Amino acid sequence: MGKSNNVEHMILNIPSDLKYLGAVDAAIQDLAREFSFSPDAVNDVSTALVEACSNAIEHGNKFSPDKRVTVALKFQGDTLTATVKDEGVGFDYEKALREEPDPDPMSERGRGILIMRAFTDGLGFNYAEGMIVELTKRRDGLEAAE
């Protein structure tokens, strides 16, 4: 983990295999606790980050063994910013955010954006040679500054 100007950051580069989600979960849980996030905030950000990584592996990289998922964690002040980048072709995230459907309560699918929104203070998408999901979580759970 690197440190500069009161900013702590760490980068994880994982294969496109769901078995590595445990390592991502362990890293975020340990680091968030280290930075005095409440147990609820730790669980929330962990849930959102694992969801983002799972989507990157499955939908972005399509489980390709030749593609990686990069997870960047940055702690600055009271805010954690986590970015997840895949190597896929992306999706129309603006449409998905506008037209987020109500997921079927009996389905295990279709809840990704809903989960990430519910468990973070900020959610953003971008595309730059891969889909990028940015999650922000404040230590106290208040809305992150834009």
Catalytic annotation, residues: 51, 55, 109
What's the rounded Cα separation, in Å, for the pair 70 and 10?
10
CA distances from 126 to 26, 66, 90, 97 (A): 26, 22, 9, 12
Strand partners for 81? 74, 136
Where do we find the tokens 């989960």? 115
What's the rounded Cα separation, in Å, for the pair 108 and 90?
22
What's the rounded Cα separation, in Å, for the pair 21 and 37?
21
Structure token digits, residue 10:
């760490």
What's the rounded Cα separation, in Å, for the pair 43 and 108?
20
